[in-house]
């Protein structure tokens, strides 16, 4: 696949600091999206799906990490995403890890990030979502997911309270809520994926969400691709037993196996979560494991290495109900989500 954006990215944007490029591109998206009403204006008819009691205008949505602070939801939807997941938002505001913390591996169509949940905090993001809700027309605009994580300075034994704070503030404005316990960039976070720790956390978030909302907000958990198959199945069993609405599979990986980039490039990129094409195979495997273990009506969101309509169709065939992307959006440009959602809709009509 070649085109003006691909040429621009390969020849120009790869020379710009990735985090600076992100902020500039996002500012441009927000400016261009001003005045547009949302995804329904750009997605084809019959492109969507109904799951978790929600109508998604398109199967492919934007994964958490791009719009951490809920500043460009409608502009992003106007590009053709069927839904937008904001965050990860933490109970307290935090600056994230030292820079540089976002790097590209172009040969692998991959990104390494060690952002560290930099965000404005749950209180500020909730205020932003409340203001957006006042402006929104009922029944218009994209489905909005809210992804919540642990504040870095909060010790593990106080993590539940931190998640409960975010839930209290953000659940009233979420179409669905995702508990993120799988980023590799917050020390100790992935330890919360252990079933013994995950069950009380998810139970507490579920209880608090029900306390602060009139209508039930679907709750999902996002897991890492680096879990063993046994642990993936254990999470699936836990999700089933406590009545979770879904699972997001998967987050980024700490593995660097099988990369085309040179050892020097990989070393320069450093530690952090790897996303993009190298994640595709394992994310697909995790999705298939989950679908084999959970009830048919549990929603699975496939994410990780989806770069084409063919990848999307493969993930749906493996059992995903919804899809998300991030890295391919960076590499393929602003028209990519609309093209992929349209291609998915065409394939499904066959």
Residues making up the annotated binding site for FMN are: 64-68, 88, 147, 180, 222, 250, 276, 305, 326-327
User: What three-state secondary structure class fits 70?
Assistant: coil
d(CA 41, CA 239): 35
Contact by Cβ (8 Å): 307, 331? yes
CB-based contact 331:306 (threshold 8 Å): no
Q: Give the helix/strand (H/E) hosting 84.
A: strand 83-90
Q: What is the DSSP letter of 100?
A: P
Q: At what angle do helices 280-293 and 229-241 cross, to 10 degrees?
A: 40
**Annotated catalytic residue 182:** no
DSSP annotation string for 109-165: TEEEE-----B--HHHHHHHHHHHHHHSPTT-S-EEEEEEE--TTS-GGGHHHHHHH
Query: Helix, strand, or coil here: 90?
Result: strand
Interstrand relation of 54-56 and 273-276 (parallel, antiparallel or unpaired): unpaired
Catalytic pick among 166, 182, 183, 275: 183
Q: Which residue has the tokens 């692998």?
A: 108
Query: Nearest Cα to 103, choosing from 12, 35, 17?
Result: 17
Binding-site entries for substrate: 68, 113-117, 180, 185, 251-252
Q: Which residues are identified as catalytic?
A: 183
């Amino acid at each position: 696949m070649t085109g003006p954006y691909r040429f621009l990215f390969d020849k120009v944007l790869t020379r710009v600091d990735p985090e600076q490029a992100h902020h500039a591109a996002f500012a441009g998206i927000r400016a261009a999206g001003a005045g547009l009403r949302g995804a329904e204006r750009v997605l084809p008819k019959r492109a969507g799906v109904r799951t978790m009691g929600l109508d998604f205008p398109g199967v492919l949505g934007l994964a958490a990490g791009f719009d951490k602070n809920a500043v460009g939801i409608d502009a992003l939807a106007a590009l053709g995403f069927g839904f937008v997941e904001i965050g990860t938002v933490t109970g307290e505001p935090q600056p994230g890890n030292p820079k540089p913390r976002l790097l590209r591996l172009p040969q692998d169509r991959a990104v390494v990030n060690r952002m560290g949940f930099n965000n404005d905090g749950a209180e500020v993001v909730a205020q932003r979502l409340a203001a957006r809700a006042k402006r929104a027309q009922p029944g218009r605009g994209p489905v909005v997911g809210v992804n919540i994580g642990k504040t870095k300075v909060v010790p593990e034994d106080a993590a539940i309270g931190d998640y409960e704070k975010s839930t209290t503030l953000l659940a009233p404005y979420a179409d669905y809520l995702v508990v993120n316990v799988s980023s590799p960039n917050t020390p100790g976070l992935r330890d919360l994926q252990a079933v013994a720790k995950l069950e009380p956390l998810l139970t507490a978030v579920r209880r608090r969400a029900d306390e602060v909302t009139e209508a039930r907000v679907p709750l999902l958990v996002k897991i890492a691709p680096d879990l063993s198959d046994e642990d993936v199945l254990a999470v699936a069993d836990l999700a089933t037993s406590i009545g979770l609405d879904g699972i997001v599979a998967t987050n980024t990986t700490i593995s660097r196996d099988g990369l085309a980039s040179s050892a020097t490039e990989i070393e320069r990129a450093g530690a952090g979560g790897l996303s993009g094409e190298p994640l595709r195979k394992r994310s697909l495997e995790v999705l298939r494991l989950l679908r084999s273990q959970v009830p048919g009506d549990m929603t699975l969101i496939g994410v990780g290495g989806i770069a084409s309509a063919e990848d999307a169709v493969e993930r749906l065939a493996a059992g995903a109900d919804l899809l998300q992307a991030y890295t391919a959006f960076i590499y393929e440009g602003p028209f990519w989500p609309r093209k992929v959602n349209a291609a998915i809709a065409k394939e499904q009509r066959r």
